[in-house]
Amino acid sequence: MAKSRVLTRDFYLEPPDRVAQRLLGKLLVRRLESVRLAGRIVEVEAYFGFGDPAAHTFAGKTLRNEVLFGPPGFAYVYFIYGMHFCLNISCEPDGQAGGVLLRALEPTEGLRTMARLRGLASDANPRLLASGPGRLCQALGIERETHNGIDVTNGRSGLHVEDDGFEPGEIAALPRVGISKAADRPLRFTIAGNRFVSR
DNA sequence: GGAGCGATGTCCT
DNA sequence: GGACATCGCTCCG
């Protein structure tokens, strides 16, 4: 297998729709004590800072969303529906909002640990582990208190993205999920035909 | 396998 | 007070 390299800040310095598509096929890696958890990114959504009514940043900077206004390559983790976390990575230069929501992984390493964190049997269907933004965070042990605002561009924070040379093939552009405004814009991107994309 | 729905905390108007 | 970038359960086919 080709040697993996950690994606650096310049990777995230671009508009969210472009970063989103380029993240497909990369590995999201979480180091949990000595265990390495990883999955291939198969589904993402782009949220613009400006002119995107569906984005958390649409109404301006607040305490919750300030990470998205900061420099690129930082984790924005928020709590939703009273019980789930969602993980984004900030894009665009410092001062300009924008981010990519990570929606689904095809698990590749640490599946038993992911199942345990998800409260499932260790031989559970891998599709139940990280297919969906809330599931993804639970499978990797990502919570707002521990991960919101951390830098994902160095290998030391315990959370980063790696490029192992995998080529995702055809990318599908679809409407975003779970939003009511700007619901028609095709800013959800998936690896076409991948079975680990959320429903 | 799909539609309907309740659970539940935080944020902003 | 209402909305919310979700999930898993039930019920039905």
Residue A197 maps to a domain: no
**What is the tally of structural domains in chain A?**
1
Residue A199 maps to a domain: no
Note the strand B nucleotides within 7 A of protein beta carbons. Answer: 2, 7-13
A149 CB closer than 7 A to any strand B atom: no
pLDDT recorded at residue A3: 82
CA A151 / C1′ B3 distance in Å: 41
Q: Show the beta-strand stretches assigned E in A92-147.
A: 98-109
DSSP H/E element including A28: strand A27-32
Q: Show the beta-strand stretches assigned E in A49-177.
A: 75-80, 84-90, 98-109, 159-163, 171-174
pLDDT recorded at residue A155: 87
The answer to whether the CB of A83 falls within 8 A of the CB of A173 is no
From first to last of the 199 residues of chain A, give the pLDDT tens digit.
Answer: 668 999 999 999 999 999 999 999 999 999 998 999 999 999 999 999 989 999 999 999 999 999 999 999 999 999 999 999 999 999 999 999 999 999 999 999 999 999 999 999 999 999 999 999 999 999 999 999 999 999 999 989 999 999 999 999 999 999 999 998 999 999 999 999 999 999 8
- Rounded-to-integer distance, Cα A188 and Cα A156, Å: 29
Residue A196 maps to a domain: no
A82 CB closer than 7 A to any strand C atom: yes
A75 CB closer than 7 A to any strand C atom: no
- Rounded-to-integer distance, Cα A29 and Cα A72, Å: 18
Domain harbouring A79, CATH code: 3.10.300.10
What is the amino acid identity at position A53? P
Note the strand C nucleotides within 7 A of protein beta carbons. Answer: 3-8
- CA dist list (Å): A144 to A78, A85, A148, A187: 6, 7, 5, 24
Residue A58 maps to a domain: yes
| Residue A92: domain span | 5-191
Residue A198 maps to a domain: no
pLDDT recorded at residue A1: 63
CA A31 / C1′ B6 distance in Å: 35
pTM for the predicted model, two decimal places? 0.96
- Rounded-to-integer distance, Cα A68 and Cα A1, Å: 34
From the list A72, A118, A114, the residue with the least C-alpha distance to A91 is A72
Residue A42 maps to a domain: yes
